[in-house]
Amino acid sequence: MSGLGRLEGAFGGVEHVEVAAADGMPCVEVERDDLIALMTLLRDELGFEACTIVTAVDHFPREPRFQVVHQLLSLRHNDRVRVHCRVSEDDARVPSVTGLWPGAAYFEREAYDMFGLRFDGHADLKRLLMPEGYGHHPLRKDFPHQGIEPDRLYKEWDRARRHAAGSQG
Amino acid sequence: MGSLKPVEASATDGGFFATRADALVNWGRKNSLWPMPLGLSCCGIELMAMLGPKFDLARFGAEAARFTPRQCDLLIVAGTLTWKMAEACRTIYDQMPDPKWVIAMGVCSSSGGMYDSYAVVQGVDMLMPVDVYVPGCPPRPDAVIDAIIKLQRKIERERPVKSLLAEPVRDDVWDEGHGGFLRQPNMGVSTHRSGEYVAADEGEEA
Amino acid sequence: MSDSGMQTRLYELERGAVDRDDPLQGELMQLNMGPQHPATHGVLRLKVTLDGETVVAVEPVVGYLHRGKEKTCESLGWRKFFVHTDRLDYVQPVLNNIAYALALEKLAGLELPERAQTIRVLLMELSRIMAHLIYLGTTAIDLGAVTMFFWTFNEREKIYTLLDAWSGHRMNNTYVRVGGVYADLEERHETDMRAFVEQFPARIDEFERMLTRNRIWYDRNRGVAPISGADAIAWGLTGPNLRASGVDFDLRKRQPCSGYEHYDFEVPLGSDGDCYDRYLVRIEEMRQSVRICRQALDRLARSRGAEFLAEDRRYVLPPRADVGRSMEELIFQFKIVTDMALPAGEAYQGVESSKGELGFYVVSDGTSTPVRCHIRAPGLLSIQAIPVLAEGRLFSDMVAIIGSLDFVMGEVDR
Amino acid sequence: MLTSYAPVLVLLGLVLAFAAGGLIASDLLGRKRRNLEKASAYECGMDPVGSARIRLSIHFYLVAVLFILFDVEAIFLILWAVSAKSFAADGVGGLVFAEVSGFVLVLALTLAYVWRKGGLDWDR
């Protein structure tokens, strides 16, 4: 497993734990409070201009449950880095990186939509893929594949329309 | 124009005038089916290929693909219908003028296809009566053209003159009392038999 | 709907920009460029606020084609998810298969034979040509050039017949497996593909003669929605949308996978990142794809008959004939078919698709049920950039902008 | 005198009959099924937001008026062009041409004025 390579000692005191990754990409795990400090350092000093992925992984039986994954790309040095951050379910809050990369806004909205992770500091955090009034977070491991009453919103809309039509008739 | 009383033709003998008029109206309708291409996903690309030069839909008078439901009489649901899109799809179906027909192109719109997930409608016939189902993922354009030919044969057998001169129907609540769910999810067999529609949850309304 | 962010922007715009009480100024109109619209290239909905003809604010709403693919991968398993990857970016089905296979092979640490990699490169370039043809056809017909639709679909039909003859299905041909491709490319397929590749550059010249110096096309695209390189990177744009702003980053050159380093081709770059540059970059990319296809076909001719599927029996099905004869092969096939397990760990593989960097982030815990399979969609970031590009411009420019960003809702909504 | 107009009137009658006939037949024969959904405004499948009856900016009106102005000018030019030969035959061709060019000149002046005042370019 190749280590951090060029990022070896460059983390300036942000305590981190190196994680082995099958694809040999430098991978670091950090506490939630140091996330923004590390991200700013990565972007400004170490030249990671683009944010490729912001997503989460649900390790359901194991605590802390959610693992937020940020993956950055440096066009100048042509290399990537991945940052993990473990968060438990009852306090699923992560600082948002939209301040550093505006492009990460939709990724964070999708992570909120699919896992229920709240991103502090996100301008307009609402559901991205599921309809607004949807009550569940589908990608959680304890959510059934066929969903819980998938047609509830359609039925409400359908009934409201018929009610309006009926009262007019 | 004197008041032409609609001929009280019983189901069997159409009477000479009614059957000839039926044939004329049906001939006009079946050869100018203007499709409303609701291209949702991969079937939409095959739909475009069908309108393209090789599988030219113009041979069947159906190449005038309009994107406004007001000028269409054939709704082709091409692709995977999700619950979020179901409202828009049902609104578009309602906004199409009568007479209108529906082709469920591809397995996703016919029965939910490979997606048995939390977000996919398990078959468009849960929302609206479907006339022709086209299997395939995506079906080859010639399969959809075959579906249009079958639809044309179905139109030939319709009897429009009987209700042509009838009084305008004011069914503000719902057209012909169907709607809601024609088929419960994953029920397999569609309860929708042509002619009588069973509204699944009609009873619950206030 | 609590679109609080949107309302505050509107309030500032109304108060700040223009004095609304002056009778000469019109009121703002809210409009739905909705999920069912010919110019949105799929089920994208744009909540547009117009001041007369000028777009004041745009809010894209996606999710109308969200089928829950990432959830499906967790319940189906690695091997059976191949069928779903076709339906991601459905204008270039094979390329998604290959991106997914590469991610799994990276996680499994599997080495591919030479011929398998060459076949994959050939298929990726054919898919790129198919995707750019769809871009050209649909964008041109939206801006009025109806002939382009027929010309591009004529070419696309030729590629359809090639893939049909080889894989049995025109589109969505789930043809890639972990460790290589399903069946070898015979000689007659290679000759057909070579015939297509020989005549295609002349077709591109026809397209260019029709569009590049066409007055209407030039005025509708030049100078519309330019975006600088730094902004494009900050907003996460990748692929042709990024290279049109002059940023030289192409994964096939910078982080080559599946043997791209053996082919020589140039990476076209734009200058100021407007719709016209995106068009020019894609046209030039089609020409470069033809060059790569020629080189790939030559390499295939040299390595005819070689192995096209890896030998590692943990992930690759044994040939059907052997399964009948030997007990080990039968056990291998049974184990793979029931539950192909990948080693524990996580891996990310980004591939240069026609839309940008299409990546698969796969996490496995050693068992056969996947922990996570995240699909990075380049189209999602193009849609996120629409407000940045479209606000302040005329409403009719929206059609050119949406066409030039060239996203496909299948991969955006997953 | 009237007979020379007969063909035009017959044509007009046929055209009106054809158009009115089509409309009346479809209205009479077509089966009407009115419901609230069918009457709702079509906005790509969504319910429309806000009303369409709002104040629009003055520019739309300005462009429309300018168009009408130069369109009517074109109508008069066509009338002149059709009978130019007969004027020339009667020997007054030159005089009429001067009048028409005076008419065109006046309108060219208005076009120049509007152009300079910026009435033609769209954004304020």
Is the pLDDT at C330 greater than 80? The verdict is yes
The predicted structure's pLDDT at residue C53:
84
Query: Does the CB of C191 have a partner CB in chain D at under 8 Å?
Result: no
Determine which of D36, D37, D38 to mutate to test the interface with A (most A C-beta atoms within 10 Å).
D36
CATH class of D2-117: mainly alpha
Contacts of C6 in chain A (CB under 8 A): 124
Contacts of C28 in chain D (CB under 8 A): 54
Helix axes C187-211, C114-142, angle to 10 degrees: 30
Chains that touch A (3 or more CB pairs under 8 A): B, C, D
Question: What is the CA A50 to chain-centroid distance, rounded?
Answer: 16
Q: What is the pLDDT of residues B136-191, one digit of tens each?
A: 999 999 999 999 999 999 998 888 777 766 666 655 444 433 444 444 444 333 33
Is D37 or C82 the better-scoring residue by pLDDT? C82
Contacts of C63 in chain A (CB under 8 A): 127-131
pLDDT-above-70 percentage for chain A: 91
Query: Does the CB of A76 have a partner CB in chain C at under 8 Å?
Result: no
CB-CB under 8 Å, C346 with A129: no
Long-range contacts of residues C206-214, Cβ cutoff 8 Å, at least 24 apart = C206/C151, C207/C136, C207/C148, C207/C151, C207/C152, C207/C283, C208/C283, C210/C145, C210/C147, C210/C148, C210/C151, C211/C136, C211/C140, C211/C145, C211/C148, C211/C279, C212/C280, C212/C283, C214/C145
The predicted structure's pLDDT at residue C2:
36
Query: Does the CB of C146 have a partner CB in chain B at under 8 Å?
Result: no
B74 is in which domain, residue-wise?
A: 29-178
Mean of per-residue pLDDT scores for chain D: 86
Q: Which tokens go with C50? A: 């117009």
CB-CB under 8 Å, C24 with D57: yes
Contacts of D36 in chain A (CB under 8 A): 164-165, 168-169
The predicted structure's pLDDT at residue B170:
58
* Run of H or E including D27: helix D6-29
Determine which of B90, B98, B100 to mutate to test the interface with D (most D C-beta atoms within 10 Å).
B98
The predicted structure's pLDDT at residue C29:
86
- Pair A96, A121: CB distance under 8 Å: yes
CB-CB under 8 Å, C45 with D49: no
- Pair C377, C353: CB distance under 8 Å: no
- Pair C342, C106: CB distance under 8 Å: no
Q: Which tokens go with B74? A: 């054939």
Mean pLDDT is lowest, of A44-58, B11-25, B56-70, D38-52, for B11-25
Q: Which tokens go with A47? A: 């030249």
- Pair A21, A27: CB distance under 8 Å: yes
Determine which of C384, C388, C411 to mutate to test the interface with A (most A C-beta atoms within 10 Å).
C384
Which among A147, A157, A158 has the least Cβ separation from residue B118?
A: A147
CATH of the domain at B96: 3.40.50.12280
Contacts of B25 in chain D (CB under 8 A): 29
Residues 6+ positions from C67 with CB-CB distance below 8 Å: B80, B82, B115, B117, B119, B120, C87, C413, C414
Mean of per-residue pLDDT scores for chain A: 86
Residues D13-19, mean pLDDT to the nearest whole number = 95
CB-CB under 8 Å, C172 with B137: yes
Domain presence at residue B159? yes
Question: What is the CA B165 to chain-centroid distance, rounded?
Answer: 23
B203 pLDDT band (50/70/90 cuts)? very low
The predicted structure's pLDDT at residue C62:
94
Q: What is the pLDDT of residues C156-214, one digit of tens each?
A: 999 999 999 988 899 998 889 988 888 888 999 999 999 999 999 999 999 999 999 99
D1 pLDDT band (50/70/90 cuts)? low
The predicted structure's pLDDT at residue A90:
87
Is the pLDDT at B11 greater than 50? The verdict is no
- Pair D104, D73: CB distance under 8 Å: yes
User: Which chain C residue has its CA at the smallest distance from B54's CA?
Assistant: C154
Q: Which tokens go with C81? A: 């998810």
Domain presence at residue C254? yes
Contacts of B52 in chain C (CB under 8 A): 149-150, 153-154, 156-157
User: Which chain D residue has its CA at the smallest distance from C36's CA?
Assistant: D44
The predicted structure's pLDDT at residue B88:
92
Domain presence at residue C50? no
Residues C131-160, mean pLDDT to the nearest whole number = 94
Domain presence at residue B171? yes
Residues D50-62, mean pLDDT to the nearest whole number = 81
State whether the Cα torsion C370-C376-C380-C385 is positive or negative.
positive
Contacts of D35 in chain A (CB under 8 A): 165
Question: Mind listing the pLDDT tens digit of every residue in chain A (169 residues)?
Answer: 345 667 776 676 667 777 777 888 888 888 888 899 899 988 988 889 999 999 999 998 888 899 999 999 999 888 899 999 999 988 889 999 999 999 999 999 999 999 999 999 998 899 999 998 888 999 998 898 888 888 888 888 888 877 776 665 4
Report d(CA C316, CA C333) in Å as an integer: 8
CB-CB under 8 Å, D42 with B175: no
For residue C164, the SS3 value is helix
Is the pLDDT at B192 greater than 60? The verdict is no
pTM: 0.87
CB-CB under 8 Å, C91 with B45: yes
- Pair C46, C40: CB distance under 8 Å: yes
Q: How far is C281 from chain A (nearest CA, A)?
A: 19
C97 pLDDT band (50/70/90 cuts)? very high
Block residue for tokens 């942000």: A14
**What residues of chain A, 107 to 146, have a C-beta less than 8 Å from chain C?**
107, 110, 114, 123-124, 126-132, 138-139, 141, 143, 145
Mean pLDDT is lowest, of B65-69, B100-104, C58-62, C405-409, for B65-69
CB-CB under 8 Å, A102 with C361: no
The predicted structure's pLDDT at residue D92:
86
Which among B54, B88, B117 has the least Cβ separation from residue C157?
A: B54
The candidate with the shortest Cα–Cα distance to C352, out of C245, C260, C270, C235, is C260
The predicted structure's pLDDT at residue C208:
94
Strand partners, D33: B169
The predicted structure's pLDDT at residue C18:
55
Contacts of C33 in chain D (CB under 8 A): 44
Max Cα-Cα span within chain C? 88
The candidate with the shortest Cα–Cα distance to A50, out of C247, C280, C156, is C247
Q: Which of left, alpha, beta for C171 (phi over 0: left; psi -120 to 50: alpha)?
A: beta
Domain presence at residue C155? yes
* Run of H or E including C181: strand C180-181
Mean of per-residue pLDDT scores for chain C: 89
C376, C410, D53 from C69: Cα distances, Å: 12, 10, 43
The predicted structure's pLDDT at residue A152:
87
Is the pLDDT at B47 greater than 60? The verdict is yes
DSSP one-letter code for C309 = B
Question: What is the CA B71 to chain-centroid distance, rounded?
Answer: 14
The candidate with the shortest Cα–Cα distance to C106, out of C307, C345, C411, is C345
Q: Which tokens go with D24? A: 């009346």
- Return the number of CB contacts < 8 Å for A and B: 57
Residues 6+ positions from A134 with CB-CB distance below 8 Å: A127, A153
Domain presence at residue C12? no
Determine which of A110, A127, A153 to mutate to test the interface with C (most C C-beta atoms within 10 Å).
A110
Contacts of C24 in chain D (CB under 8 A): 57-58
Q: Which tokens go with C247? A: 């940023």
CB-CB under 8 Å, B38 with C71: no
The number of folded domains in chain C is 1
Query: Does the CB of B172 have a partner CB in chain D at under 8 Å?
Result: yes
CATH of the domain at C227: 1.10.645.10
Strand partners, A85: A68
∠ CA C369-C124-C307 to the nearest 5 degrees? 75
Block residue for tokens 């382009």: C148
Query: Does the CB of A148 have a partner CB in chain C at under 8 Å?
Result: no
The predicted structure's pLDDT at residue A2:
45
* CB burial of residue A160 (10 Å; 0-12, 13-18, 19+): exposed
Domain presence at residue C116? yes
User: Which chain A residue has its CA at the smallest distance from C254's CA?
Assistant: A78
User: Which chain B residue has its CA at the smallest distance from D32's CA?
Assistant: B168
C20 pLDDT band (50/70/90 cuts)? low
Query: Does the CB of C87 have a partner CB in chain B at under 8 Å?
Result: yes
Q: How far is C157 from chain B (nearest CA, A)?
A: 7
The predicted structure's pLDDT at residue C52:
81
The predicted structure's pLDDT at residue C323:
82
Contacts of C409 in chain B (CB under 8 A): 41
C370 is in which domain, residue-wise?
A: 69-377+401-413
Domain presence at residue B88? yes
Domain presence at residue B10? no
Report d(CA C95, CA C130) in Å as an integer: 11
**What residues of chain C, 5 to 44, have a C-beta less than 8 Å from chain D?**
23-37
Name the CA dihedral angle for B31, B36, B38, B44, rounded to a multiple of 10 degrees. Answer: 50
- Pair C53, C394: CB distance under 8 Å: yes
Query: Does the CB of B98 have a partner CB in chain A at under 8 Å?
Result: no
Report d(CA C405, CA C397) in Å as an integer: 12
The number of folded domains in chain B is 1
CB-CB under 8 Å, C107 with A130: no
Domain presence at residue B128? yes
Report d(CA C317, CA C335) in Å as an integer: 9
User: Which chain B residue has its CA at the smallest distance from D42's CA?
Assistant: B95
Helix axes C114-142, C93-108, angle to 10 degrees: 140
B201 pLDDT band (50/70/90 cuts)? very low
CB-CB under 8 Å, C361 with A55: yes
Contacts of A146 in chain B (CB under 8 A): 116-118
CB-CB under 8 Å, B117 with A163: no
The predicted structure's pLDDT at residue C194:
94
- Return the number of CB contacts < 8 Å for C and D: 47
Q: What is the pLDDT of residues C243-272, one digit of tens each?
A: 999 999 999 999 998 899 999 999 999 998
Q: How far is B38 from chain A (nearest CA, A)?
A: 19
Contacts of B80 in chain C (CB under 8 A): 65, 67, 87
* 3.30.460.80, 3.40.50.720, 1.10.3720.10, 3.30.1050.10: CATH of A5-131: 3.30.460.80
